[in-house]
């Protein structure tokens, strides 16, 4: 129970990695506010799972690319639990695969808003309520290697999150630590939608661990970065990809 009495916000917490993070942080004793945009059923199921295990959680709908959506989430969290101690910026997505040549400005802006602007707005809104604590930003292996075909906008936004993580670590230390994660092939709806099955099988064959990741693999690392056991770590962007990419 390394986060007993602490409050965590997990954005995009209704499914996959976000849901696993919410459950894992609750296992460490944190009160958890779960943001979702469209995954209402998943968010409520996550709240029910945490509550059934003796924890405390709420689900809050909101578009985190808007100041209003962010303000609602943070205000409801503080009203319910009194503070913000851990922020996990997990909201994000590819939206669609598009090359630069075929990409309209609207798509570029939508990807940047979903991945990067939401992270900026959440951190800015939470800071007045964070005396001490930890921020964990979910970047991507795509930020390391440029991503697969048609994912330049996504990879660029995640690369910016890595840079933001480094800058914030210097700006917010020593009281608030900021770290990032760069997940590779994790078995989620992201890859169910955007990655061909033969690519995933190829990953499994090439990976030293011979499997795809699962959401709890990422959540375990998030829980570590959120508690004081990682107290000498800040400004890092950690790879979690089964050994396919070394940085």
Per-residue pLDDT at 199 = 79
Report the C-alpha gap between 161 and 79 in whole angstroms. 29
Which sign does the torsion angle of CA 17, 152, 247, 204 carry?
positive
Q: Which of these, 105, 172, 114, 171, lies nearest to 138 by C-alpha position?
A: 114
Per-residue pLDDT at 142 = 96
- Give the burial class of 86: count Cβ atoms within 10 A of its Cβ; 0-12 exposed, 13-18 middle, 19 or more buried: buried
Q: Over the Cα atoms of the chain, what is R_g?
A: 17
Per-residue pLDDT at 202 = 79
Q: What is the pLDDT along the chain (247 residues), one digit of tens a residue?
A: 999 999 999 999 999 999 999 999 999 999 999 999 998 999 999 999 999 999 999 999 999 999 999 999 999 999 999 999 999 999 999 999 999 999 999 999 999 999 999 999 999 999 999 999 999 999 999 999 999 999 999 999 999 999 999 999 999 999 999 999 999 989 876 666 666 777 778 778 888 999 988 999 999 999 999 999 999 999 999 999 999 988 8
Per DSSP, what are the bridge partners of residue 136?
A: 88, 179
Cβ contact 19:42 at 8 Å: yes
Q: Tell me which residue has tokens 């209003």.
A: 68
Report the C-alpha gap between 165 and 134 in whole angstroms. 11
- 115: DSSP letter: I
- 213: DSSP letter: B
List domains and CATH numbers for the chain.
7-240 (3.40.50.720)
Q: Which residues are catalytic?
A: 154
Per-residue pLDDT at 193 = 66
Per-residue pLDDT at 217 = 97
pLDDT tens, residue by residue, 191-201: 666 667 777 78
């Amino acid at each position: 129970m390394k986060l007993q009495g602490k409050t965590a916000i997990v954005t995009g917490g209704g499914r996959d990695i976000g849901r696993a993070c919410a459950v894992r942080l609750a296992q460490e004793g944190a009160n958890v506010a779960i943001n979702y945009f469209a995954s209402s059923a998943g968010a409520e199921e996550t709240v029910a799972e945490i509550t059934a295990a003796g924890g405390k959680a709420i689900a809050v709908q909101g578009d985190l690319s808007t100041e209003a959506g962010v303000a609602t989430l943070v205000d409801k969290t503080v009203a319910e639990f009194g503070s913000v101690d851990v922020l996990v910026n997990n909201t994000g997505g590819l939206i669609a695969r598009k090359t630069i040549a075929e990409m309209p400005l609207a798509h570029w802006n939508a990807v940047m808003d979903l991945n990067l602007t939401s992270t900026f707005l959440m951190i800015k809104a939470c800071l007045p309520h964070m005396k001490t604590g930890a921020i964990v930003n979910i970047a991507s292996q795509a930020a390391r290697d440029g991503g697969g075909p048609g994912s330049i906008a996504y990879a660029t936004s995640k690369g910016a999150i890595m840079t933001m993580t480094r800058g914030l670590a210097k700006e917010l230390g020593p009281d608030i630590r900021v770290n990032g994660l760069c997940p590779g092939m994790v078995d989620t709806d992201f890859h169910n939608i955007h990655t061909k099955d033969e690519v995933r099988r190829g990953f499994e064959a090439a990976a030293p661990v011979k499997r795809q990741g699962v959401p709890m693999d990422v959540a375990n690392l998030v829980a570590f970065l959120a508690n004081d056991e990682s107290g000498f770590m800040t400004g890092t962007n950690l790879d979690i990809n089964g050994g396919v990419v070394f940085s």
